[in-house]
A and B are shown apart, each in its own frame.
Chain A
Amino acid sequence: QKEVEQNSGPLSVPEGAIASLNCTYSDRVSQSFFWYRQYSGKSPELIMSIYSNGDKEDGRFTAQLNKASQYVSLLIRDSQPSDSATYLCAVNSGTGRRALTFGSGTRLQVQP
């Protein structure tokens, strides 16, 4: 089992719709969770961080964390074509390595 799992996609949504991106992780003691956006050929850009169970909203983005289910998600409301990118989920390892583990990413396509 991979430490951080994401559906590779592509996830295709129409412009103006809600895009829902999901991520599961295996380390029960993980404490910090991040979503990055990566455009093709560019470096990842941090868009959300979440540390506690529940929802965290920032503009059109909402991160949701459920530690009991080891699940973190990212909702993008009113999706725009400029949101088309790969979204990477990252989780801290808790014990041992003390660094982030990244999922392979979900490619999002927003259709105009």
Chain B
Amino acid sequence: DGGITQSPKYLFRKEGQNVTLSCEQNLNHDAMYWYRQDPGQGLRLIYYSQIVNDFQKGDIAEGYSVSREKKESFPLTVTSAQKNPTAFYLCASSTGGGGYYEQYFGPGTRLTVT
């Protein structure tokens, strides 16, 4: 089955710890994205990558880091520098970049930091 997987579904961490969220896709998509969603809010773009070994900051990149070493994988690290990390994190992918193509989402990771 083709799709996007994110793990874990729920993640609990203590303040001051870095945490890495996994995102894998087997759709052969070039572009991948990370969004954050807070309760009652829309999606805000954290980072995106249009091709392997290249990525760009989105609107709220501070306190986050990413890597894109393989086409199918785009992990997101939430560092201790992120002031309000508790949120629903969504990974998406699309055939191409530029925001022109349809984006498909993984099931999300709900991160709680206390």
Q: A and B: real partners? A: yes
**Which chain B residues lie closer than 8 Å to A100 at the CB level?**
33, 45, 99, 103
Q: Across the interface, do B43 and A93 meet the contact criterion of CB distance under 8 Å?
A: no
Cα-based distance from A42 to B107 in the complex (angstroms): 7
Interface pick from A11-19, A52-60, A68-76, A101-109? A101-109
Interface string of A89-112 (1 = CB under 8 A from B): 010110001111111110000000
Size band of the interface chain B makes with A: 20 to 34
**Residues of B29-86 whose CB lies within 8 A of A:** 33, 35, 40-45, 48, 50, 56, 58-59
Instruction: Check: A32 CB closer than 8 A to any chain B CB.
Output: yes
**Which chain A residues lie closer than 8 Å to B43 at the CB level?**
44, 88, 90, 102
Quote the shortest CB–CB distance from B3 to chain A (angstroms).
Answer: 11
Q: Across the interface, do B58 and A99 meet the contact criterion of CB distance under 8 Å?
A: yes
Residue of B nearest to A92 (CB): B99
**Other-chain contact of B107, A4, A31, A43 (Cβ < 8 Å):** A43
User: A residues within 8 Å of B by Cβ?
Assistant: 4, 8, 31-32, 34, 36, 42-46, 49, 88, 90, 92-93, 97-105
